[in-house]
Amino acid sequence: MPPRQSKQSALETEVQAPDSARGTLAILAGSGPFPGYLAQSALAAGRRVHVIGFMGEADPGIAEYPHSWVKLGEVGKLFSILKTNDCRELVIIGGVSRPDLANVRFDLGAIKILPFLLSLTIGGDDKVLARIVRYFEDKGYRVRGAGDVAPNLLVGAGKLGAKAPSREDAIDIALGFEVIAALGRFDIGQAAVVVRGHVLAVEAVEGTDAMLARTAALRQWGSRGRGERSGVLVKAPKPQQDKRVDLPTIGPATVTEAAAAGLAGIAVAAGEVLIAEREATIEAADAAGIFLFGRVMPSGSDA
């Protein structure tokens, strides 16, 4: 008879087998800190990772992890890296600017799928990302969400710092989620600013930080809430988007800009928004005297 396996070794086999079957996790890295955070979290959980950074977009810090670099247009090289490193699952994370295809040098792999690449120049972010996800899935890869791989990167439910929203804040929060759900159907933004029941700003292509800077400027000359901290920044995915890609994010800079805009706090969809530098973000909110709050979204509801 073979020797009886101890409970510990049996558990180790059970944990390691799925990772072996899944192969290496590929992280397709655009701009921002989250590709690095994701790689760190996945490695800490025992996953093998290989970060593939897009030149001119990804943070040089990804070099701390097993990695390769590709240029936009090097599709053949990208799939060669995936194959060489036994990558069967991948996460797409971080921003990538839409390039002028006239200035992109395509390798043979890209030339073979040129009609598909040209299709990525048409439509909003959701449609483009959905096409990319389907393309990888059609090639046999499993596309994972960052939150699936590293739940610790997501904002949880309830208050994160010392402060909680007031009853007045709760009314603004509810309206903010309604606005994002309504505009999101048209592939417009993932954030809104609501002050005392008035929609002061919505996010478009400029991003959250620029929207908050615009909010601060509006409140300098407008009478809405001037001289006191009121209103809320609300962030949530668009209702129709694939939540495996392009999740909204917050971090210390978001807190700084929200405080500068005179807002009372930040509310996000719990479990659907990424948080950078969690401890630093919470500390910044407490120092500024504003709240951070994760709202549990009703099942099957857009707001």
Closest among 173, 212, 170 to 194, alpha carbons compared = 173
CATH number at residue 227: 3.40.140.80
Residue 61 lies in a domain: yes
Residue 248 in this model has a pLDDT that exceeds 90 = yes
Last residue of a domain, one of 131, 149, 167: 149
Domain range holding 136? 7-149
Token look-up 């948080």 returns 275
Cα separation, 127 vs 241, in Å, equals: 8
Residue 260 lies in a domain: yes
Share of the chain above pLDDT 70, in %: 87
Q: Where are the beta strands (DSSP E) in the chain?
A: 24-29, 49-54, 67-70, 87-93, 142-144, 158-159, 191-195, 198-202, 232-235, 249-250, 265-269, 274-275, 291-295
Q: Are residues 96 and 171 in the same domain?
A: no
Cα separation, 107 vs 71, in Å, equals: 10
Q: Are residues 133 and 29 in the same domain?
A: yes
Cα separation, 297 vs 237, in Å, equals: 11
Residue 189 DSSP symbol: -
Q: How many domains does the chain have?
A: 2
Least confident of 6-20, 114-128, 145-159, 263-277: 6-20
Per-residue model confidence as pLDDT tens digits over 187-219: 888 999 999 999 999 998 888 999 999 998 887
pLDDT for 189: 86
Q: Are residues 130 and 260 in the same domain?
A: no
Residue 301 lies in a domain: no
Residue 1 lies in a domain: no
pLDDT for 124: 75
What would the two tokens of residue 296 be? 């549990």
Q: Are residues 15 and 121 in the same domain?
A: yes
Classify residue 75 by burial, with Cβ atoms within 10 Å: 0-12, 13-18, 19+.
buried
Residue 300 lies in a domain: no
Residue 5 in this model has a pLDDT that exceeds 60 = no
What average pLDDT is seen over the chain?
87
Q: Are residues 122 and 182 in the same domain?
A: no
Last residue of a domain, one of 149, 175, 197: 149
Q: Are residues 104 and 165 in the same domain?
A: no
Confidence band, pLDDT 50/70/90 cuts, at residue 102? low
Residue 2 lies in a domain: no
Q: Are residues 124 and 169 in the same domain?
A: no
Q: Are residues 173 and 92 in the same domain?
A: no
Q: Are residues 144 and 158 in the same domain?
A: no
227 Cβ contact partners less than 8 Å away, ≥ 6 residues apart: none
Residue 222 in this model has a pLDDT that exceeds 70 = no
C-alpha 266: how far from chain center: 16
pLDDT for 127: 82
pLDDT for 110: 85
pLDDT for 12: 37
Q: Are residues 139 and 26 in the same domain?
A: yes
Q: Are 269 and 245 in contact (CB under 8 A)?
A: no
Last residue of a domain, one of 128, 149, 170: 149
Residue 132 DSSP symbol: H
Gyration radius (Cα) of the chain, Å? 21
pLDDT for 303: 54
CATH number at residue 101: 3.40.50.20
pLDDT for 15: 39
36 Cβ contact partners less than 8 Å away, ≥ 6 residues apart: 51, 59, 61, 62, 64, 65
Residue 154 DSSP symbol: B
Residue 303 lies in a domain: no
Per-residue model confidence as pLDDT tens digits over 60-85: 999 999 999 999 899 999 999 999 99
Q: Are residues 17 and 130 in the same domain?
A: yes
Q: Are residues 162 and 256 in the same domain?
A: yes
Report residue 95: phi and psi, to 5°. Answer: -80, 145
99 Cβ contact partners less than 8 Å away, ≥ 6 residues apart: 72, 73
